[in-house]
């Protein structure tokens, strides 16, 4: 596959990449950054792409891996922040504005994980697969469920998250 064909292929699926990135991040600016990072990585790693491979699936995998790596980095940084707070012994209001913002970010992330992890497992698994880029049909096949059940569970998880996260900003 020539570089021009490869680039045109990426441009053709760009709207799909934006939708997938938004599903992962739930923020348009972060989703745009994720798409940009994914396209740059794909162009850098073009020689690893084989013509017989599904370009869209390959791009989704790159994007998901970048998202997961960024997530892990954030968790590591949050752990470092928490350890810094416990080692310094400073209270919330004893630090500067940046310390306060970091504390609030750590608190928000903990609350977000608590809400997501409170979803019952039979509903959380299809949701995780959907966020990872699986189609309804693929989720139904892998979990051995009717497609209507998958759609219903995803609907209820979205509804519950929307309700639980309405005050989350």
Q: pLDDT of 109-124, one tens digit each?
A: 677 777 777 888 888 8
Whole-structure pTM value: 0.47
CATH class of 3-117: mainly alpha
Residues belonging to the chain: 169
- Cβ pair 34, 66 in contact under 8 A: yes
For the chain, the domains span 3-117, 118-169
Cα–Cα distance for residue pair 124/119, rounded to 1 Å: 6
**Cα 138 from Cα 144, distance rounded (Å):** 10
Taking only Cα atoms into account, the Rg of the chain, rounded to an integer number of angstroms, comes to 19
pLDDT band at 77 (very low <50, low <70, confident <90, very high): low
Q: Ramachandran region of residue 92, left (φ > 0), alpha (ψ -120 to 50) or beta?
A: alpha
């Amino acid at each position: 596959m020539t570089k021009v064909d490869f680039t045109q292929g990426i441009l053709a699926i760009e709207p799909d990449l934006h939708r997938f990135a938004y599903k992962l991040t739930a923020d348009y600016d972060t989703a745009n950054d994720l798409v940009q990072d994914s396209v740059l990585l794909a162009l850098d790693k073009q020689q690893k792409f084989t013509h017989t491979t599904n370009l869209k699936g390959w791009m989704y995998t790159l994007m998901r891996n970048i998202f997961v790596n960024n997530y892990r980095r954030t968790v590591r940084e949050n752990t470092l922040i928490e350890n810094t707070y416990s080692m310094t012994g400073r209270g919330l209001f004893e630090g500067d504005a940046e310390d306060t913002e970091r504390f609030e970010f750590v608190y928000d992330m903990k609350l977000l994980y608590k809400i997501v992890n409170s979803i019952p497992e039979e509903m959380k698994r299809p949701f995780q697969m959907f966020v990872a880029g699986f189609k309804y049909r693929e989720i139904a096949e892998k979990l051995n469920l009717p497609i209507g059940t998958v759609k219903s569970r995803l609907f209820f998880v979205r509804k519950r998250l929307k309700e639980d996260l309405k005050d989350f900003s």
